[in-house]
Amino acid sequence: MRRCLSRLRPGDRADRVHLDVCPHGGRRPCGHRSGPGPFHGRDLPRRAARDGGGRRRAVGPHRWRVRLRLHARPSCAAVPVSDTLRLTIRRLGRDGDGLARRAGLVWSVPGTVPGDVVEALPAGRDPGQAESGTARARLLRVLRPSADRIAPACPAADECGGCDWLHVAPAVRLRAKAASVREALGWSEDAPLEVFASPTERFRRVARLAVGRDRAGPVLGYRHARAHRIARLHGCPALEPEPDAALAALAAAPRALGVWLAARAGELWLLSDEARGVHLAPASGGAGRAARGDRAVAAALESLRAALPRGLDPGPRGPSIEAADGGPALRVPAGGFVQANRALAPELARLACAWSGGSPARVLELYAGSGHLTVALARVAAAVVAVESDAAAAAALAENLDRRGARHVRVVCGDAARAAAEAEAGGVVVADPPRAGLGRAAATLAARRPARIVLVSCDLRALARDARALRDGGYVARRAALLDFFPATHHVEAVTLFEPA
């Protein structure tokens, strides 16, 4: 092992360790398996041997030989990690970082803008793109700022990890996102793409806030982009006025935050409903405890509600949002998923209905959630099967449909990947998966040969994977739209229509 490790050079990355374990020292074939993994140091089996009379006798344990094979790749040391780089940023990448070329590598530098000339410090090769020649660098200073660099409007921009493009001009943000969507779909740079812009402030109706403690006491805010620490916030320009006022009031209530921390309720979920009341709920592990009536979580919620400004507490009514079909408000589970951008959410539903063919006979909707798209599809389709794996969301979806008398919609609480295998040939599929994308369901859908697949994507890498899988299955992206749900960030919401080639 020592000899193996001595072959490494400073900066090299050890990808994996491979252990060959054989009781015969590897001197003769024996069928013993070898493979990667830890050596647990258990008592080794004793081998049986035969004496001259054919009887079995126990002998000592095997003499095991352990051989270590270390698979390593060289570091990006065309430039020593101690040397700084002078880089000219050419464009913005999918992950939001500025990209520049130097020494045969594409350098990814956070906090930069196309046209910036910067001094940066190499931070090592990107582990997710080892073979693509991509390396990361840390911004030290901007030597010559780009004309497209602007002053962030948020005072917490340097600490908060919520919005990573506050320093980028709005027009440049949209161009970069449009280019990234085209790249993910394999389109040319001038391919037509519908773009829907958003207000740059006061656009977000829901927030997920971290609650922790620092030297000054309980703290409420968003986590830093590349650290576990929490940025202490007293307001957020991205939030609508009501949840922003709630954030400021809760941040000034350390005793209530202390009760929340003592209950170990996790992150805090804020939602501004259709009547502009602000709902509070645990966003992670505490959500299940709250649903089961956990007294500690219930007491923590009451303590936080008491700190809300007058008029913001919605009282006993459950959380709900405006419906895309113009009908009764949609009930949503406390702490559950909600489309964050109130202004653009109706556009998403309109595109899903229009690109499903206008008035399809049957629609299979995957990842239906609480029914934001379902209630709109129910108005144009003769029959809808809505599939959702989360039990609370599926229950809310069923209630929302019952309030509308939508008897032609069937709700299935189950796995979307399995439901994809039941897609009808020549039918219509609408899917709004989580950040991971369709995954294996993409190939399953392509094999079922629906006439249209309307895919909503909130992650560019997932969109690229899903588009590639559908393309390999004989589909082509006919139309696409970019909805700028998160204008001050690199995140996108894209809708794509796939049809058989």
Residue 195 lies in a domain: no
Domain check: are 415 and 480 in the same one? Answer: yes
Question: Where a domain ends, among 41, 57, 73?
Answer: 73
Do 475 and 366 fall within a single domain? yes
Structure tokens at 477: 């992206």
22 forms bridges with which residues in the sheet? 65
Determine the length of the chain. 501
In a domain, 199, yes or no: no
Domain match, 312 and 369 both? no
Rounded CA-CA distance 218/263 in Å is: 13
**Angstrom distance (rounded) from CA 385 to CA 363:** 6
| 39 Cβ contact partners less than 8 Å away, ≥ 6 residues apart | 19, 21, 66
pLDDT of residue 58: 44
Say which CATH number the domain at 95 has.
2.40.50.140
User: In which residue ranges of the chain is pLDDT below 50?
Assistant: 1-64, 66, 68, 70-78, 130
The candidate with the shortest Cα–Cα distance to 412, out of 347, 421, 453, is 421
**First-to-last C-alpha distance (Å) of the chain:** 55
* Enclosing domain of residue 247: 206-320
- CATH code for the domain of 482: 3.40.50.150
Q: Are residues 229 and 310 both part of a single domain?
A: yes
CA 458 to chain CA centroid, Å, is 8
Per-residue pLDDT tens for 100-141? 999 889 999 999 999 999 999 998 655 555 456 889 999 999
pLDDT of residue 158: 84
Q: Is the same domain home to 345 and 447? A: yes
Q: Where do we find the tokens 């979920």?
A: 269
479 & 413 share domain: yes
Same domain, 65 and 91: no
Instruction: Determine, yes or no, domain membership for 110.
Output: yes
Given 132, 149, 166, which residue is the final one in a domain?
Answer: 149
- Is 382 a member of any domain? yes
Sheet containing strand 65-73, strands side by side: 35-36, 13-22, 65-73
pLDDT of residue 44: 38
DSSP string for 61-128: EP--EEEEEEEEE--STTS-TTS-EEEE--EE-TTS-EEEEETTEEEEETT--TT-EEEEEEEEE-GG
355 & 486 share domain? yes
33 with 81, same domain? Answer: no
The domain total for the chain is: 4
The whole model's pTM is what? 0.80
Residues 61 and 128 reside in one and the same domain: no
Q: Residue 183 falls within a domain, yes or no?
A: no
Whether the CB-CB separation of 310 and 336 falls below 8 Å is answered with: no
- Three-state DSSP state, 301: helix
Dihedral Cα 487, 157, 339, 347, nearest 10 deg: -10
CATH of the domain at 276: 2.40.50
Residue 383 sits in the same domain as residue 465 = yes
Looking at 16, 43, 73, which one is the last position of a domain?
73
Domain annotation covers residue 193: no
Would you state the pLDDT for residue 229?
86
Same domain membership, residue 354 and residue 468:
yes
Domain-embedded: residue 491: yes
The verdict on residue 336 lying in a domain is no
